[in-house]
Chains A and B, each alone.
Chain A
Amino acid sequence: MARLIVTRLLTLIPMMFLITTVVFFLVHLIPGDPARLMVGGAHITPANLENIRKAYRLDRPLPEQYGLWVSDLLHGNLGKSYRQRTDVRTLILDRLPITMKLSVFSFIISLAIAVPLGIISAARRNSWLDVGATIFALLGASSPVFFTAILLILIFSFRLQWLPSIGAGDGGWDEFVHLLLPSLTLGISLAAITTRITRSAMVEALTQDYIETARAKGLASRSIVLKHALRNALVPIVTVAGLQFGFLIVGAVLVEQTFGLGGLGSLLIQAVQVRDYPVVQGATIFIAALFILINLGVDVLYGVIDPRVRYGGRA
């Protein structure tokens, strides 16, 4: 187990290097003069423009800018935002909590929808409930997150006026209420796939011989499904759910934008729009690192649930 973690951590190094390089040059390929955008375009004196270029190293050749940026990065310095003139690290850390809350909350909602729905579908195959769950999964998976978001806003805020659609509230209960709609949006999208996986895994588990044996022993149906089948179906569910947690961070970008949540996602989108290179680079790398680490965590968890993974590595 320790070896698995160490190997995976070591592969992080070349991977992060690759990501930084790609991100840097990709970002600088986008046309647009950041110095000019920084001051708004219309009016500026040449001296003023020159000051900005100097202050943000925009007057140097690209390879030199890259070298300086990487060396800063190794010192834990993500640079300064062109637009907000604040350390990128501060900007990211300021906004991280809300993105994490949104992700965790959505994740819980998605599991709360998907696992029971998947189990019921599998246990009552081809019933109207199963068909309903299939339709839900199909709709949830095909509707883009921002569309689901607008739909939920129109229903729950605009029409019914039940739930707020703006911001993250003032902590505690208020925050919970404010996060309901955004989390539901993400949760539904995620639940779609997890429902299907749960269903397939459960169907497979329920057709195994040991289930027949359990039935033959006269165990209650509920106990068979929840105790015997579910435990064995859990491995694929955890794998997929874990992978999805990584994608959640990406989905959060769009949801935050729609619900006016000041998380990492809205930071990134706004930065792209104004060519705020340091923020785009910093946030992308941060998200990439987070994604890799979460996947590592899932791999470890996978080993915990299924002992075969733990020992299989040595065979």
Chain B
Amino acid sequence: MKKSKTKMKQSFGDRMVGVCCYIIFILCALVCVYPFYYIFINTISANDLSARGVILFWPQGIHFKNYVSALQIDGLFQATFISVSRTVIGTVCTVGASAFLGFMFTQDVWHRKLWYRMMVATMYFNAGIIPWYLTMMNLHLTNNFWGYILPAIVSPFNVILTKTFVESVPRELQEAAEIDGAGTMTIFTRIMVPVIKPIMATVAIFSAVNQWNAFQDTLLLMTNTKLYSLQFILYQYLNQASSLKALANSSSGGNSLAAAASTAQTATSVRMTVTIIVVVPIMLVYPIFQKYFVKGIMVGAVKG
């Protein structure tokens, strides 16, 4: 990071430090990348080879039938629908609520400080999962899609993020609008929202990743298989090796006998294919929006 303009000759010891760093970080990168690569090459390799675990470094017998067959697996389409729905609806709700609250907590609201403290305090305690579960049950939010959305709408961390950002916006902007007779809601929608878009993007990314990755709420709240998320379905696949095989065979239809060993579904191929389906959205989103993540953690570090 430190760019020294004057190129000094490096001593032997300094060069050794450099070489060691490169070796260590190449290893680190490999350890992080290889598992994903390993699973991917297995999903596009011949299924009889991947089931024996002989695919290690490059794909063999390349075919893409696994991804076609995955579409026919019972429940997988429904789970994808649930995961996408909760990610989209949940993100829209959280972003809207965070932007609105972040703005309102800078306004002259009756007992503002008290309400703000009441919200922030929830970051530091929780009643425990069983009381939470029983609450959700009393509210009829178990086996209910809104059980995924409602508890996530107000997230103190995201509100603090937006509030900090709103506070950095020059006060004159609002005052000018007030002189022109704009009400608080008009100021929020017309003046504030366009200005705080960057932080809204950050909140959107955080919230979308959280919703997509959520597993525990399905585990606790949902027994109706129609409401299972992709994460939960994947977890079930990992734990039901035997039933998975039956599922895999039925999904390839009546002609499973005719299907060549290299493309017939195996427990391994189904598992790995679903894993890739679950991880791809993250892989696509993450590198593009990395700067928003980093901005989020840095602003979050400066507490509200």
> Does A pair with B?
no
| Chain B residues near A (Cβ < 8 Å) | none
| Chain A residues near B (Cβ < 8 Å) | none
